[in-house]
Chains A and B, each alone.
Chain A
């Protein structure tokens, strides 16, 4: 009986290793395919992720065209990040791309006016027909807007990577704090005796996080002016 169980355990272990290695292979194929501009890999990303992005945009005051614009911009941003910088280790390509899409769409919603909507994609196919100063100006503006979105995502990644370096307890405390939970809930969740204890813990964790952020090599380049 024992050799039989051992054999099964070994088989199961091998299967898990195979699944893990296939996952890694899939992730790196997807990333390298994306960076190389491999059309089939990009289409695969569309099939896997676009429906989710479309749902998100539709639920947040957008339409199909908005979702398509945002998705194209997100792919372009990720490719540019790979080519221009070292990007943080990504646990899942889909999850990271979805974060970029959410940020890009929220950014559009927060903007006062919809200046750059698809201007660059339109420019590419119509640049031979339209070459007025006005359209050139709006194209430059659109590239600058994309650059700002690129830098914002870089800053976002910097903050998230610093946040992940905190202890689990500090992360939980700060997540409560920045989501504006009342201090009474802190006492309940973390078992503190009083509000002043909760405030002190928040202060310590915030100070630690702020120090990590300020000592990051990219902080000066990405800090707000």
Chain B
């Protein structure tokens, strides 16, 4: 049965704390003896949270024990426990973490890998000249911090913090979700590009640097520097030479001497 307009107005006043102390007391005692009124109040309260976009504030006591037990039983069953483990594993994989259960496995394989690394080190040193070149220059000419001292919670400061801590997957996650902020802080695209480069995602790295070049025309040489390092790491020597040559032709780059050294090594 629907309620009348006067009762609806009383419910609104109750929810908006507009009833006097005595009116409130009377209303609350009516609620105890009138289940229809109590249902209507709960419906309006829920609508205020859902349609009014306030978020959920209900508690455990607002559902029957049977309803909670049914769902909790299902969630704690074997099937959902297996799925829960799978999700945790994917979460770790996506966020670049090592799961606790896999730590031992990694420790053992880590020792085996170390032996292999030692054995192959000599060969690597001989063959991986470009890798050396990349390692020698990869940390030079990083983006300059744009964060004010008072800014500790901004997206840019979080990106910088994660970048400095070498949390590259996080840097990519945050910068990818930053939307139009990249127009305000194009430097975010540099951080993103370097993060992709560090994780070996070269096409994505090049795309980030190109986007940076389109938005910001202030640091073109810096963009070429980091693009060149992508090619160097990816072993595309011709492209690397081509890109570093652009800096050489433009001039006015603080790392001109380094560029010349790289170009000499690539000859």
- Expressed in whole angstroms, the minimum distance between the Cβ of A153 and any Cβ of chain B is 8
- Expressed in whole angstroms, the minimum distance between the Cβ of B41 and any Cβ of chain A is 9
Interface 9-residue window, one of A1-9, A24-32, A36-44, A187-195: A36-44
A221 touches B174 (CB 8 A): no
Once A39-B90, A80-B80, A203-B5 are accepted as A-B contacts, the answer to whether A163 and B71 lie under 8 Å apart by CB is: no
One digit per residue, 1 when the CB lies within 8 angstroms of any chain A CB and 0 when it does not, for chain B 161-187 equals: 000000000100110111000000000
The one of B62, B63, B87, B174 that contacts A72, using a Cβ cutoff of 8 Å = B87
A125 touches B40 (CB 8 A): no
Once A106-B55, A148-B68 are accepted as A-B contacts, the answer to whether A46 and B91 lie under 8 Å apart by CB is: yes
A154–B45 Cα gap in the complex (Å)?
Answer: 16
A79–B88 Cα gap in the complex (Å)?
Answer: 14
A215–B155 Cα gap in the complex (Å)?
Answer: 46
Instruction: Answer whether residue B215 sits at the interface, using C-beta atoms and an 8 A cutoff.
Output: no
Instruction: Answer whether residue B141 sits at the interface, using C-beta atoms and an 8 A cutoff.
Output: no
The one of B3, B94, B155 that contacts A47, using a Cβ cutoff of 8 Å = B94
A50 touches B173 (CB 8 A): yes
List, in ascending order, chain A residues with CB within 8 A of B93's CB: 43
List, in ascending order, chain A residues with CB within 8 A of B91's CB: 46, 68, 71-72
A156 touches B50 (CB 8 A): yes
Instruction: Answer whether residue B84 sits at the interface, using C-beta atoms and an 8 A cutoff.
Output: yes
Q: Is the interface of B mostly helix, strand, loop or mixed?
A: helix
Instruction: Answer whether residue B114 sits at the interface, using C-beta atoms and an 8 A cutoff.
Output: no
Chain B, Cβ-Cβ closest to A225? B62
B63 touches A58 (CB 8 A): no
Q: How large is the interface on B (under 10, 10 to 19, 20 to 34, 35 or more residues)?
A: 35 or more
List, in ascending order, chain A residues with CB within 8 A of B84's CB: 72, 76, 120-121, 124
B88 touches A152 (CB 8 A): no
List, in ascending order, chain B residues with CB within 8 A of A211's CB: 2
The one of B62, B79, B177 that contacts A224, using a Cβ cutoff of 8 Å = B62
Instruction: Answer whether residue B83 sits at the interface, using C-beta atoms and an 8 A cutoff.
Output: yes
A224 touches B71 (CB 8 A): no
Instruction: Answer whether residue B61 sits at the interface, using C-beta atoms and an 8 A cutoff.
Output: yes
The one of B8, B82, B88 that contacts A121, using a Cβ cutoff of 8 Å = B88
B52 touches A151 (CB 8 A): no
List, in ascending order, chain B residues with CB within 8 A of A148's CB: 58-60, 63, 68
A184–B52 Cα gap in the complex (Å)?
Answer: 18
B43 touches A213 (CB 8 A): yes
Instruction: Answer whether residue B117 sits at the interface, using C-beta atoms and an 8 A cutoff.
Output: no
B88 touches A124 (CB 8 A): yes
**Residues from 53 to 107 in B contacting A, C-beta threshold 8 Å:** 53, 55-64, 67-72, 74-76, 79-91, 93-95, 99-101
Residues of A within 8 A of B (CB): 37, 39, 42-43, 46-47, 50-52, 54-55, 58, 64, 68, 71-72, 75-76, 79-80, 83-84, 102-103, 106-107, 109-110, 120-121, 124-126, 140, 143-148, 150-152, 155-156, 159-160, 163, 174-175, 178-180, 200, 203, 206-207, 209-211, 213-214, 221-225
Having A109-B55, A224-B46, one finds 7 other A-B pairs with CB under 8 Å, namely A43-B93, A52-B177, A76-B87, A145-B60, A146-B71, A146-B72, A210-B40
Residues of B within 8 A of A (CB): 2-3, 5, 8, 39-40, 42-48, 50-53, 55-64, 67-72, 74-76, 79-91, 93-95, 99-101, 155, 158, 170, 173-174, 176-178
16 A–B contact pairs at CB < 8 A?
A: A39-B86, A46-B90, A50-B94, A50-B173, A51-B176, A55-B178, A64-B170, A72-B91, A79-B83, A83-B79, A109-B55, A124-B81, A151-B63, A155-B58, A207-B2, A224-B42
